[in-house]
Each structure stands twice: as C-alpha cells, then as structure tokens.
Amino acid sequence: MLLLITDDVARGRRLSRDLGTRGSCHVHDLYDDRLPSAQHDLIISDIEALTSDAFICLRRALSQVRGDGVPYLFLVHGNVARAEAQAQILGASATAGIQQMIGAVDRLQERSISAIVQKQASKARLFFRQSLFSGGPITPAIADTGTDLVNRAVGESGIYDWVRAVQQFDDATHQHCLLVAGLTAAFSGMLGLRTADRHRLTRAALLHDVGKIQVPMEILNKPDRLTDAEMAVMRTHAEHGHTMLVSAGFDADLLAAVRSHHEMLDGSGYPDGLRGWEIPDFVRLVTVCDIYGALIERRPYREPMPGGKAYGIVQGMAGRVDGDLVRAFRPVAAAFGPFQ
C-alpha cells in the first residue's frame, strides 16, 4: 500500500494514476488531521507549496504514519537545493522530480519485497520446473504440493507481493500459471469459500495452462505478437492439457477448468464454443483470474498494464465473462492500482 501525501488532492490523484501498476495508493490531503490508520510500505510527499506551515504539517504526518524501515520519497517542486535540504531534514529515502518518480518508486518497491515471499516464489518456480513442466506424469498429489505452496505464500505475504515476486521470472508460462494461481487463491479466500474449495480452485488455476507443454517453444516464447496460424497452434493447449490429465485421477471440476478456461458466455471462446449455463461457475472464476492476470503481466512485446486499466477491460467484457464474478473481483484488483 502506497501513501501519497499532497497539498493538491486532484494533482495527487493524477499522480496516483500514473503509478497504477505499483499497488493500491491512498491519496491523503496534507491539511486533513484525520491520518490514515492502515500500514503502508511506501510514502511519497507531493507538496508544491512547502511553506513553514506545510513543512510542520508534513513532519507531523510522517512522524505518525511512517513505520520503521518504510521508504519515503520526496517529490521535488521548484528549487532543487532547497528541496534537498528539506528532504534531508524529513529523513527522505530519496528525492525525485516528476519525470523520475516512476522509476524511483519501482526501485524502492523492488527492494521492499520481503525475503520470505522471494523464497516462497523461488520454491514454487523450482516445483514448476521439476514437477509440472518436466515432462513427467502429473498426479493429484504433485498438484496438491504446488497448490499448498501458493496458498501459503499468498496467505502470508498478500497477493500484491506474491505477484511482484512472480513477475520477476523469465519464463512466461511459469510466471503466468503462478500468478493466476495466486489471484485465484486470493479471490476464493476473499469470497469466503471453504478451505477445501479454495484449494480445489487454486489447484485448477495452477494447472490451467499445463497443455502448453505441447506447444512448440518458438511459439510459446516468441518475442512478438503471434500470427493467426501461430495463435491457432497456441489455442490447442486447452485440449492438450485436458488430454494429459483426464486419466490421472483429477476431479471433473479441475478437468473442466483446464479445458474450458477460454470459453466465453456468448459462445465465442474455445475449444468447444460453450455458452452460458454450459460453463460452470468453477470455470468462470478461473477465467476471470486468467484474463486479469494476462493483462497485468509483462510480455516481450508490451509492458504490464496498469491494474485499474486491466480491470476496466475485464469489466468491458460483459456478456462474455461472468459480470457478478467480475464485480466481486474488484477488491482483489484494487491491490494493483487505482481504477480509471
């Protein structure tokens, strides 16, 4: 959670939108005595008119909301030398102009990913390589091990830090599956589902793209958009995944999610062109997480999309994805930035 303290709330909100891919942001009016009570992992001050009164207000606010070890970034307006001196008095971690702000925020937040979540993500990636994408048989027991890793990590670190850690992986397929599994774990937990149901959904999300093992690497890792012919090959992964798992002892819900997570309510999806009631709620939930996860990922040919913009696109898919689930997903999406 990012706290932005500003003397111009409208300007602060514009700045928060520019930081939309970097976590949820609370914009606080410098002159509002009601300070936010939530914990923050980064604080930014955006004070254009840093008068003596404003300086006193800012210093008081920082003393109350800045916890030990929380980085604080001072946004420079006007005289740089004067700003540097003020920032030093306030104990700022760094100063930056508006153009430097986004990069500075990225660097500070990258350092703030805890060693615990980094270790958890590394264990999950190693598990993926050795157990799920090694070419060996995939059993329910193996899938349960990976699912427990993801559920425990998201439960301990939160979905935002989990996604940030996973986004550092080079392999796009591993990154995507672990990201979607994390989103599904967070979403099913937020919905208040039973532990067993949350586990089943997360396990399905973890395996939803396992059929990509059968897709040629030159297509899977192509550093550009796929041609129509390549996309046709890529779309075979849903059927391949179902074929791989259908005789391995998995339940019908998981098999449906693996085969049908690209089906759309209006019949425009694949591989079977299912419509409406033919797509179970279990599958619909994984689909929402899959689409949102793909939008906020970095791809070789594009930067990750801001969280709020990504949610707006999913909202705009009304009639193709489950609208009730999209609305329910909003609190999860809020972890990735302000809405448009």
How confident is the model over 212-261, as pLDDT tens digits?
999 998 898 887 889 999 999 999 999 999 999 999 999 999 999 999 99
On the question of pLDDT at 337 being above 80, the answer is no
- Pairwise CA distance, residues 190 & 208, whole Å: 21
What is the phi/psi pair of residue 255, to 5°?
-60, -40
Residue (of 201, 101, 107, 116) closest to 165 by Cα position:
116
- Pairwise CA distance, residues 252 & 255, whole Å: 5
More confident residue, 160 or 181: 181
Give the CATH class of 115-336: mainly alpha
**Which residues make up the CATH 1.10.3210.10 domain(s) of the chain?**
115-336
- Pairwise CA distance, residues 190 & 334, whole Å: 12
**Which residues make up the CATH 3.40.50.2300 domain(s) of the chain?**
2-112
How confident is the model over 86-142, as pLDDT tens digits?
888 888 877 777 667 666 666 555 555 666 777 888 888 888 888 877 778 899 999
Contact 255, 245 (CB under 8 A): yes
* Mean pLDDT to the nearest integer, 282-307: 90
What is the phi/psi pair of residue 95, to 5°?
-120, 155
How confident is the model over 28-82, as pLDDT tens digits?
999 998 887 666 778 899 998 888 899 999 999 998 888 776 788 888 887 778 8
Percent of the chain with pLDDT over 70: 90
Q: What is the pLDDT of residue 306?
A: 84
CATH homologous superfamily of 2-112 equals Response regulator (3.40.50.2300)
Q: How far from 40 is each of 56, 62, 68, 185, 240, CA to CA, in Å?
A: 21, 11, 11, 23, 44
Q: What is the pLDDT of residue 33?
A: 84
Beta-carbon count within 10 A of 16 CB: 22
Residue (of 46, 70, 41, 42) closest to 58 by Cα position:
46
Q: Which two tokens stand for residue 14?
A: 């514009």
More confident residue, 320 or 120: 320
- Pairwise CA distance, residues 196 & 65, whole Å: 38
Helices (H), the chain: 9-18, 52-65, 80-90, 98-112, 115-127, 140-157, 159-166, 172-190, 195-207, 217-220, 228-234, 237-245, 252-260, 281-296, 307-315, 323-333
Q: Which of 73-77, 184-188, 200-204 has the lowest mean pLDDT?
A: 73-77
Q: What is the pLDDT of residue 340?
A: 58
